[in-house]
């Protein structure tokens, strides 16, 4: 079958659910970041695993690329189609299939978004804590091994996907994991697929670990004289075994932007924002103990509250950071870079990044999930200035190189996509070739999200 | 090179550290379980990664099997040599290479045992919590994806290996992971190697996550009228988000055996043994809250203590369970089976297992890491009774089948080895073939621990 015949064959069973409209192709060829549009040849909207299987099988026969699509919020051009092909949009596979409160797990279709899942869970007293800010799909989150503010307490998608169902490049459907909490039965195929960015299989079901909605929550914020003081407070907090549910750093530039955006009166200094989950007593104790640690590092008072309104205001602000930063320079675009280093090197990594950004003249506030050593710079590009894009890319490049110099990783949570391919060889050495060997063994014709993640033939 | 020439070539650089003595071969051909001896042709004691690399490269050339060996405590014949070859004993690679308190991690050679590591960590206030009872090597624990009593709080080896160095079948040395706490940079090769039982690579370094030694610990025990009541108390505990550090079930038969072994006066009923880690206030609160949950399920008083002596007595007893059970029937051998099911099905799984054991006439006490849905039966075999071995194997077989029927796994923590190969096809379906594809891609000549884990050519 030729590629056009394949699309016709797909249309014959998907009907209207195979779209070739220009607007649909454009939408699925765009990226949240600075990559030029790379549209697929068609967008499929399957309803079932069997349909996904038929799509993959037909595409494999004609060597047509197949690219998964959740909500398209990934930041490194992950879901773009540099070689065309069929984009498989999972938005119709959006059912919560089974909630099992006694086992603290749930099985969902990949198109369920995290907000939808938490809405459907609410009555059970359970929650799914992984929170990448964007209202991403759970399939996309698993595929990018996403995390966010709560990873320091609840882990990333690596820790919260218990098992999955996937369609592989040869059209086979596999189930990985079991419903048991742990297993020593063979290779960890769940972990292999999580973070594989759609290059090894299309996930059609996920079984996720749930957590009880905590009985009590306290949250608060405090200012530090320097990033170093703030990071040292983080290190002490983690080392003392104080269980934080979130511990976020915003730098002085971000505090200033918050003030402008929301009329708040934060001192223009680095801040830590924290949250504790537990019993009413434990969250009060935890907040008090953190207050002592912060004071040891010269911080002002740690203002905390167990009131829902106060907490919500705090995290709404943190979640809106991206938009607040964009609003601070109307008409600018953002290049967001994400790196992660050992916590002991975090102050150094942030300090050097801040100095580098200051010297460049670009606005570039920094925020981070610092309990994990993970932070982002939001580099603002003025489209009217021809140099800005290049300056931002060079800054981002030096951030990644610095992370690798410090024993860290090119990406803590956003993933590789198109944007970070060039760091894979340095980060993994011969391990990158091993990834390529696995890819070739499981997808010999390079059907699944080609051009991404693994070494490419010259 | 022929196999004998390979051994000579190995001896030429390992000297005395290549052993062909009968006692050494016998020792490395035995198993902790009921498998007949399967000795290797030689035992190598490398000192460095480079030596491991030379061993693998030479063996690969002559297609000589290479089998890793930690302390030989695995229970399913994992480290035996059904096809002969070279056993690589890691006991000399036993250095703690670097402890990094600020990052809560440590890099070790694979031959370091968990007790040794915790001794060397003590001065830092940190600990490595994964505890399979036996004083296993960290390499062996990683290779079997081991866990134990504390997994409910601290996770298994899957969660506690941050990265590793391994020699692959082609003699290449790869490093997986980074020193960052999390990463979205490509396939999770760390997770692929953890649990691969030496069939994909020999691990020569491990970077492990550490945890603070808790400021305070409380532990206690209480009796329940039935296993079902005990398990329902476990479900409520987990669901309420009460953070237990250990939650172990021993059945009535085990309680009776403890009494005989240690002169204790436990009622002959199922018991839960718990431990809480935290601050002095939180561990007291946690113990009190568990007491309420237990009372809701008809339990007697939950006797707990924050005194170290009391705690130590409790866990020494639990850790000695295996030996207490053996001592209860002098001259008997044990067949230990390990399964794991969703917690909601645990009471059913244990109840059916108890009934089955009772009917068989074999002694078979049950203990379990029940917070994870994981339990073991220690089936006692009288060597004088020709039927016992077969009866025990049939019981164990039905336990596994039942676990799979209930959505669980054939092994929660002991692994596959030789003993559980026959369940892989049923547990994983086409996923088992995927494991075989990965194995063939990375070890095309089947050098590394052949005959284990993946589908075998007919
Ligand atoms: C404002 C903003 C803030 C963000 N903050 C964070 C953050 O804090 N932490 C974080 O981790 N990320 C963050 N992100 C990035 C993004 O939200 C995550 O990468 C998210 O996981 C992407 O999910 P998605 O559903 O949008 O996936 P998409 O972008 O649609 O796809 C991502 C990748 O997954 C593949 N894929 C999608 N579905 C499947 C499937 N079912 N099977 C196989 N492959 C599939 C695609 O092919 C693609 O390679 C942020 C993004 C924005 C815009
Ligand atoms: C009394 C008793 C109680 C036990 N309780 C538990 C428990 O509660 N939980 C639990 O999980 N286990 C338990 N076990 C089983 C056992 O302790 C674990 O399986 C342990 O992880 C084995 O470690 P080891 O060093 O003895 O490995 P070995 O038995 O020497 O080897 C195990 C496997 O790992 C491979 N291997 C060893 N080192 C390496 C390396 N460096 N690189 C690659 N492969 C390697 C071997 O080839 C083999 O396949 C128990 C065992 C006993 C005897």
pLDDT digits (tens, 9 = 90+) for A126-180: 999 999 989 999 999 999 999 999 999 999 999 999 999 999 999 999 999 999 9
* Cα-based angle B215, B220, B222 (whole degrees, multiple of 5): 160
Whether residue A133 has its Cβ less than 6 Å from ligand 1: yes
Give residue B146 CA to ligand 2 midpoint distance, Å. 7
A275 shares contact with chain B (CB less than 8 Å): no
Instruction: Please state, rounded to an integer, the average pLDDT across all residues of chain A.
Output: 95
What's the token pair of residue B29? Answer: 């051909």
Distance separating alpha carbons of residues B224 and A261, to the nearest angstrom? 58
Distance separating alpha carbons of residues A159 and A177, to the nearest angstrom? 13
Average pLDDT of the residues in A61-71: 98
Closest CA to A428 of B200, A437, B199: A437
Chain B residue numbers touching A411 (CB-CB < 8 A): 183-185
Average pLDDT of the residues in A442-446: 97
Give the mean pLDDT per block of 10 residues along chain B (458 residues).
Answer: 91 97 96 88 98 98 98 96 97 98 96 98 96 95 97 97 98 97 98 98 98 92 95 90 92 92 90 93 91 95 87 83 91 94 96 96 95 96 94 97 98 97 98 98 98 92
Whether residue A233 has its Cβ less than 6 Å from ligand 1: no
Distance separating alpha carbons of residues A213 and A439, to the nearest angstrom? 39
Predicted TM-score (pTM) of this structure: 0.97
pLDDT at B269 (0 to 100): 95
User: Which ligand has an atom closest to residue B417 CA?
Assistant: 2
What number of C-beta contacts closer than 8 Å exist between A and B? Answer: 290
* Sign of the alpha-carbon dihedral angle for A150, A151, A156, A162: negative
In degrees and rounded to multiples of 5, residue A243 shows phi and psi of -85, 100
pLDDT at A303 (0 to 100): 86
Answer whether B434 sits within 8 Å of A340, measured CB to CB: no
How many CB atoms neighbour CB B2 within 10 A? 10
Average pLDDT of the residues in A350-373: 96
Task: HSE, CB side, 13 Å, CA atoms: give it for residue A167.
Answer: 25
Count of residues in chain A: 458
Chain A residue numbers touching B146 (CB-CB < 8 A): 184
pLDDT at B171 (0 to 100): 97
Shortest distance, CA A331 to any CA of chain B (angstroms): 30
Answer whether A188 sits within 8 Å of B158, measured CB to CB: yes
Give the nearest chain A residue to B104 (CA atoms). A239
Nearest atom (ligand 1) to Cα of A32: 53
User: Which ligand has an atom closest to residue B135 CA?
Assistant: 2
Per the DSSP assignment, residues forming a β-bridge with A68 are: A88
User: Which ligand has an atom closest to residue B91 CA?
Assistant: 2
Q: From atom 14 of ligand 1, which residue's Cα is the shortest distance away?
A: A132
pLDDT at B317 (0 to 100): 80
Interface of A with B in 141-160 (CB under 8 A): 144-147, 151, 155-156, 158-159
Residues 6+ apart with CB under 8 A from B73: B32, B132, B134, B135, B136, B140
B344 → closest Cβ in A103, A281, A343: A103
What's the token pair of residue A326? Answer: 């964009």
Q: What is the pLDDT of residues A160-171, one digit of tens each?
A: 999 999 999 999
Average pLDDT of the residues in A274-287: 91
Residues 6+ apart with CB under 8 A from B413: A182, A184, B132, B144, B145, B146, B147, B148, B151, B156, B338, B340, B369, B374
Shortest distance, CA A416 to any CA of chain B (angstroms): 6
Residues 6+ apart with CB under 8 A from A390: none
CB B90 within 8 A of CB B176: no
Distance of CA A205 to the CA centre of its chain: 19
pLDDT at A219 (0 to 100): 94
pLDDT at A316 (0 to 100): 83
Shortest distance, CA B398 to any CA of chain A (angstroms): 17
Distance of CA A193 to the CA centre of its chain: 15
User: Which ligand has an atom closest to residue B338 CA?
Assistant: 2
Q: From atom 10 of ligand 1, which residue's Cα is the shortest distance away?
A: A132
In degrees and rounded to multiples of 5, residue B400 shows phi and psi of -65, -45
Distance separating alpha carbons of residues B392 and B413, to the nearest angstrom? 20
* Sign of the alpha-carbon dihedral angle for A395, A400, A402, A403: positive
Q: What is the pLDDT of residues A302-322, one digit of tens each?
A: 988 888 888 887 888 888 888
CB A151 within 8 A of CB A130: yes
DSSP secondary structure letter of residue A456: P
A407-423: string of b/e by CB count within 10 Å (b at 16+)?
bbbbbbbbbbbbbbbeb
Answer whether A211 sits within 8 Å of B239, measured CB to CB: no
B235 → closest Cβ in A102, A168, A235: A102
Nearest atom (ligand 1) to Cα of A369: 8
Give residue A169 CA to ligand 1 midpoint distance, Å. 21
pLDDT for A458 beyond 80: no
Give the nearest chain A residue to B233 (CA atoms). A102
B308-336: string of b/e by CB count within 10 Å (b at 16+)?
eebbeebbebbebbbebbbebeeebbbbb
Chain B residue numbers touching A282 (CB-CB < 8 A): 278, 281-282, 285
Answer whether B424 sits within 8 Å of A285, measured CB to CB: no
Distance separating alpha carbons of residues B374 and B152, to the nearest angstrom? 10
Distance separating alpha carbons of residues B361 and B375, to the nearest angstrom? 20
Per the DSSP assignment, residues forming a β-bridge with A377 are: A337, A366
- Per DSSP bridges, beta strands B66-69 and B86-89 are parallel
Shortest distance, CA B431 to any CA of chain A (angstroms): 5
Distance separating alpha carbons of residues A85 and A43, to the nearest angstrom? 9
How many CB atoms neighbour CB A288 within 10 A? 12
Distance separating alpha carbons of residues A110 and A137, to the nearest angstrom? 7
A431 shares contact with chain B (CB less than 8 Å): yes
B175 → closest Cβ in A240, A431, A454: A431
User: Poorest-confidence range of A30-34, A48-52, A149-153?
Assistant: A30-34
Distance separating alpha carbons of residues A209 and A198, to the nearest angstrom? 21
Give residue A347 CA to ligand 1 midpoint distance, Å. 28
Task: HSE, CB side, 13 Å, CA atoms: give it for residue B423.
Answer: 27
A216 shares contact with chain B (CB less than 8 Å): no
A419 shares contact with chain B (CB less than 8 Å): no
Which of A27, A67, A132, when mutated, tests ligand 1's pocket best, judged by the most ligand atoms within 8 Å of its CB?
A132
Where does ligand 2 bind, in terms of residues with CB under 6 Å? Answer: B 32, 67-75, 78-79, 90, 110, 132-134, 136-137, 139-141, 143-144, 146-148, 197-198, 202-203, 322, 413-415, 449
Distance separating alpha carbons of residues A140 and A144, to the nearest angstrom? 6
* DSSP line for A304-327: EE--HHHHHHHHHHHHTHHHHHHH
Of B143, B146, B165, B181, which to mutate for an interface test with A (greatest number of A Cβ within 10 Å)? B181
Answer whether B180 sits within 8 Å of A373, measured CB to CB: yes
pLDDT at B303 (0 to 100): 87
B305 shares contact with chain A (CB less than 8 Å): no
B187 → closest Cβ in A241, A411, A435: A435
Interface of B with A in 193-212 (CB under 8 A): 194-196, 200, 211-212
Distance separating alpha carbons of residues A311 and A91, to the nearest angstrom? 31
CB B389 within 8 A of CB B279: no
Give residue A203 CA to ligand 1 midpoint distance, Å. 13
CB B430 within 8 A of CB A174: yes
Whether residue A171 has its Cβ less than 6 Å from ligand 1: no
Of A181, A400, A402, which to mutate for an interface test with B (greatest number of B Cβ within 10 Å)? A181
pLDDT at A381 (0 to 100): 95
H-helix or E-strand containing A41?
A: none
User: Which ligand has an atom closest to residue B157 CA?
Assistant: 2
List domains and CATH numbers for chain B: 4-89 (3.30.43.10), 96-212 (3.30.465.10), 216-322 (3.30.70.3450), 329-422 (3.30.70.2740)
Tokens 């009923």 sit on residue: B269
Closest CA to B33 of B453, B331, B337: B337
């Amino acid at each position: 079958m030729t590629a056009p015949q394949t699309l016709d064959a797909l249309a014959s069973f998907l009907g209207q659910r195979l779209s070739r409209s220009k607007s649909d192709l454009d939408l699925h060829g765009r990226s949240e970041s600075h990559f030029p549009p790379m549209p697929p040849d068609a967008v499929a909207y399957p309803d079932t695993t069997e349909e996904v299987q038929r799509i993959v099988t037909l595409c494999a026969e004609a060597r047509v690329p197949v690219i998964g699509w959740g909500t398209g919020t990934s930041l490194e051009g992950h879901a773009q189609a540099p070689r065309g092909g069929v984009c498989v949009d999972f938005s119709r596979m959006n059912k919560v299939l089974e909630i099992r409160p006694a086992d603290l797990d749930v099985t969902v279709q990949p198109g369920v978004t995290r907000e939808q899942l938490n809405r459907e869970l609410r009555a059970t007293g359970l929650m799914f804590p992984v929170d990448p800010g964007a209202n991403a799909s759970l399939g996309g989150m698993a595929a990018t091994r996403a995390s966010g503010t709560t990873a320091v307490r609840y882990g990333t998608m690596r820790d919260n996907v218990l098992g999955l169902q996937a369609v592989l490049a040869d059209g086979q459907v596999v189930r990985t994991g079991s419903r048991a909490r742990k297993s020593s039965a063979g290779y960890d195929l769940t972990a292999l697929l999580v973070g594989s960015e759609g290059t090894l299989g299309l996930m059609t079901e996920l079984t996720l670990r749930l957590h009880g909605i905590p009985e009590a929550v306290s949250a608060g914020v405090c200012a530090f004289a320097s990033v170093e003081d703030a990071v040292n407070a983080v290190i002490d907090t983690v080392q003392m075994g104080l269980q934080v549910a979130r511990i976020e750093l915003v730098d002085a530039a971000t505090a200033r932007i918050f003030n402008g955006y929301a009329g708040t009166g934060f001192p223009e200094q680095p801040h830590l924002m924290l949250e504790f989950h537990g019993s009413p007593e434990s969250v009060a104790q935890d907040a008090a103990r953190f207050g002592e640690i912060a004071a040891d590092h010269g911080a002002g008072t740690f203002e905390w509250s167990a009131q829902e309104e106060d907490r919500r205001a705090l995290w709404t602000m943190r979640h809106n950071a991206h938009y607040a930063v964009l609003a601070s320079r109307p008409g600018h675009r953002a290049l967001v870079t994400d790196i992660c280093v050992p916590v002991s090197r975090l102050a150094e990594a942030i300090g050097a990044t801040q100095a580098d950004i200051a010297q460049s003249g670009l606005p570039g506030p920094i925020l981070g999930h610092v309990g994990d050593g993970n932070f982002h710079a939001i580099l603002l590009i003025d489209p009217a200035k021809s140099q800005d894009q290049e300056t931002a890319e060079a800054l981002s490049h030096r951030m990644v190189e610095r992370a690798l110099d410090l024993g860290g990783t090119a990406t803590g949570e956003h993933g590789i996509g198109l944007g970070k391919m060039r760091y894979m060889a340095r980060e993994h050495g011969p391990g990158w070739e091993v990834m390529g060997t696995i890819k070739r063994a499981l997808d010999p014709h390079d059907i699944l999200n080609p051009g991404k993640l693994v070494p490419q033939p010259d």
